[in-house]
Structure 1
């Protein structure tokens, strides 16, 4: 046993602090060292995958992944492939790709919609056609939030409201809104707001559904509790 743990990160991304790390990375590293183990940060790049594999298998017992899937250069497949190889070689993963996909996927919200934790009118879209068919209807019930499956920085998470207050108040719930309906879209990553047409915005959001592990969750907007 090497008594050593590597912490994986990627360079850049809005989840980084001024030192180039996620805010909890160095506290994790320092806590491991305080227990008498060695710990260090290694940045992942696809072109370094083989060298990282050799370095980690020769010097470490386990890894901790502090990588936001939305920030991985070249996409998550190469990174997950590296972690799978390390797991096969006996390097303990925290967490493994299988665990990340199981626990990190936002459709877990849909699986909980029959409980008191999640509103019952919460949907997951795996195909653009389903999204385009249902979202104009779900929006007729009130403000909605769309969440892409990848990442945790707020990128691709949109609060959607009907701009015309009279229309919002008069529309019959369950009625599909016209595609030229003006909507106010606020992205959680930086709270910037865009005024768009419903149809055009849905076309824009297709990018979140397409591709490997693509998906959109559509749920009721839940106002913050005022303290």
Structure 2
């Protein structure tokens, strides 16, 4: 029996078309059938039916492409274990959960300190105790700092925190522009405690992953983020993501405008070069697996000491990058599966 390439989706979520599927799933599988010669199928992950699905995929799958936004799942750790079990049975997984747990969380920004991709002032506050101990001094360096929940998307859980001359604290959340004022740093710290979740003792993948990553605020976010879209280790597109006027978030959910361009454009030469050079610094976090099938590296502009442009990595996304508006990249994805 010839084995197939499968896409796994989840029935719930706002990423569905009128037919109940992600709009980019069928175009990806059609391209794989045309270019790679595999038969394909879409299946849905249901937690209460996971063992039946596991057996079906073990028997029929050559490869599985996960097209589930983990934010739509309650039991993400359970789903990652499901993918791991498939991998252990010999099924090729895109993207492997060992890779997602390392790259798709914001703490990768802290782990990349000391490389060309990282910024030395980035820090992962895993526990509230650590946050109380370190955040006030980190904030005092520039009187402004960005806090990002370690696992999130669409700008949710991202806060701009600034300290005023009178010692009061002002915060604004990226996704909804919601503003809060605090009399002093102590009041802010006390009110922020509820946002720290305890570790799940039963989690196989998510141990040590709760908390917030603190980053320097880069004023040039007003110029937008620059996203490099990759298929494995090949850059296929550069996206200029321009925030709304006065905003500091460059996500579609916060009103940003996206403009897709070729990575061959001269103006993107430096950021594409940095991305390719940075792959060697990312490789240790792949844990022996391949680079993600479809992923992105986002950058914000800063200045070098000589006044030249400097790109600072702000996020990596590799769990479920959408290409609904740019379906031509389905062909690049399909080439990965081309039979040898």
| Interval containing the TM-score (normalised by the shorter chain) | 0.7 to 0.9
Following superposition, the deviation at residue 225 of structure 1 comes to 5.6
Shifted more, 57-66 versus 16-25: the winner is 16-25
Distance 2:172 2:134 in 1: 18
SS at match of 1:40: strand
Aligned residue for 1:174? none
What does the per-residue CA deviation read over 1:82-107, in whole Å, with 9 as the maximum and x for residues that have no partner? 11221122111112221222222322
Contact kept? 2:196, 2:211, Cα under 8 Å = no
Structure 1 residues 158 and 225: alpha-carbon distance in aligned structure 2, compared to 1, 3 A threshold: closer
Map 1:66-81 onto structure 2 (within 5 A). Answer: 66-73=67-74, 75-81=75-81
Q: Partners of 2:148 and 2:109 in 1: how far apart? A: 10
Q: Could you tell me how far apart the structure 1 residues matched to 2:83 and 2:40 are? A: 17
1:18–1:154 distance in 2 versus 1, CA, 3 Å? farther
Shift of 1:41: 2.5
Does 1:215 pair with 2:217? no
Per the TM alignment, residue 221 of structure 1 is displaced from its structure 2 partner at its CA by 1.8
Which of 185, 196, 209 aligns to 2:172? It is 185
CA distance in 2, matches of 1:205, 1:26: 38
TM-score (norm 1): 0.78
Matches within 5 A, 1:100-111: 100-111=100-111
Alignment-derived partner of residue 58 in structure 2 = 57
2:230 paired residue number: none
User: CA, structure 1 residues 33+142, in 2 after alignment: closer, same or farther (shift >3 Å)?
Assistant: farther
Counterpart of 1:171? none
| Equivalent residue runs for 1:162-181 within 5 Å | 162=163, 164=164, 166-167=165-166, 181=168
**For the Cα contact (< 8 Å) 2:123–2:214, is it kept in 1?**
yes
| 2:196 matched residue in structure 1 | 206
Residues 1:77 and 1:97: Cα distance change in structure 2 (over 3 Å) = same
Equivalenced residues, count = 208
Equivalent of residue 195 in structure 1, options 168, 180, 185: 180
1:9–1:41 Cα contact (<8 Å) kept: yes
Q: Higher mean Cα deviation, 17-26 or 34-43?
A: 17-26
CA distance in 1, matches of 2:41, 2:177: 36
Please give the root-mean-square deviation of Cα atoms over the aligned residues, in Å: 2.5
Query: Is 2:150 the partner of 1:154?
Result: no
Distance, in Å, in 2 between the alignment partners of 1:125 and 1:99 is 21
Query: TM-score if structure 2 supplies the norm length?
Result: 0.54
CA distance, structure 1, for counterparts of residue 52 and residue 24 of structure 2? 26
Deviation at 1:69, TM superposition (A): 2.5
1:104-119 alignment, distance < 5 Å:
104-119=104-119
Q: Name 1:139's counterpart in structure 2.
A: 139
Runs of 4+ in 1 over 6 A off after TM superposition: none
> Per the alignment, in what secondary structure is the counterpart of residue 218 of structure 1?
strand
User: Which residue of 2 is the match for residue 173 of structure 1?
Assistant: none
Matched-pair contact (CA < 8 Å) for 1:132–1:202: no
